[in-house]
Amino acid sequence: MAHITEGAYNTSKYRNLFLEHGYSDEEITAKIEDTWTELFYGDPNTRIYYPMDEDKGYLLDTGNHDVRSEGMSYGMMMAVQMDKKEEFDRLWNFSKTFMQHADGRYKDYFAWHCKPDGTRISQGPAPDGEEFFAMALFFASNRWGDGAAPYDYAQQARKILHACVHQGEHGEGDPMWDPETKLIKFIPESPFSDPSYHLPHFYELFAKYADECDQAFWTEAAAASRAYLHKACHPVTGLSPEYANFDGTPAPPQRHGDFRHFYSDAYRVAANIALDWEWFGKDRWQVEQSNRIQAFFSEIQVSDYRRYTIDGEPFDEPSLHPIGLLATNAMASLAADGPHSSQFVHQFWNTPLRQGERRYYDNCLYFFSLLALSGCYRIY
């Protein structure tokens, strides 16, 4: 199957890999709808979404029993992709009410996690939430139109991105992107990054939708992130560390752990690279990178997924989120043109949602992969 090298942004054509691999439109549509229903309204052992009061709702991190800016922004992206405005607005209203800072060093950023009743556990933000919030809000504006605050989606998105770039210029606080390298940080105060936070396909769109004075910055950030991923991903295995310095080398161990290796955060890198290729098709390296990571995992059973050094040595420590890793390995097929692409598409199709305590992260990655591989993860 020939690749769309121009990218869906220019062609408005999105590959449906499930259709290419023999599944029918009816089967694909039913699988997407059923998965949405299970995640948002299914049985207690599967669902991750919970309505709250008359106008709010949250995604629960079922492994940690908290609500995270990551999950809230993911839920909003799922909802806008699925044209589910009620759930989107409930998630946004919870996030705006309980998680977004109104003042101080984190003004307009979001506390990275809180309790299900909205009580903040930590004040600090995690930048992957902000970038997903902003992109989901822009898509909502373009898909549904803007309403009265807090549903003036585009304005809310621009406010978040303004803080991400300019925080600290005229007072306390720190930006979320390093001004010198144009690379996203792990947290605003950190001198290093997280490869899985790099979303050049979002930054290309921020360059069109953000404040006019920042549009050039976002164009530079997209190019910087693509170049950074070349350095952060191992040239043979395709594996990347969870945290990496601005030069792409694994970041040193932190007080809260050793993140020099390929583990939970890093699973998202393959998915992000594949979606960037699908949307913009600007970097042929992404095809080879996707082939590399699929080749590495092609002969490893999902039940045997582990923590790995970036050069591929396994630890005696199983993956906490094997279904999530399978999902991102499958999503790599959007860019991959190697011999293992079909294997992962079929394997993913035949794998159900995860159930039980650790299901949240796996099933977020699962749903994004389901959308992407069906051609339904789209630019609005």
Catalytic sites, residue numbers: 70, 265
* 232 close to 195: Cβ distance less than 8 angstroms: yes
Residue 147 makes CB contacts below 8 A (sequence gap 6+) with: 153
SS3 (DSSP) at 121: strand
What is the C-alpha to C-alpha distance for residues 132 and 154, in angstroms, rounded to an integer?
Answer: 13
What is the C-alpha to C-alpha distance for residues 369 and 114, in angstroms, rounded to an integer?
Answer: 27
Q: Is the Cα torsion angle 328, 333, 337, 341 positive or negative in sign?
A: positive
Closest CA relative to residue 200, chosen from 182, 225, 230: 225
Q: What angle do CA 207, 374, 364 make, to 5 degrees?
A: 70
| Backbone phi and psi for residue 81, each to the nearest 5 degrees, phi listed first | -65, -35
SS3 (DSSP) at 122: strand
What is the C-alpha to C-alpha distance for residues 184 and 129, in angstroms, rounded to an integer?
Answer: 12
Residue 90 makes CB contacts below 8 A (sequence gap 6+) with: 51, 52, 55, 56, 57
**Two tokens, residue 2:** 């020939």
E strand or H helix at 296, and its extent? helix 285-297
* 292 close to 238: Cβ distance less than 8 angstroms: yes
- End-to-end CA, the chain: 26
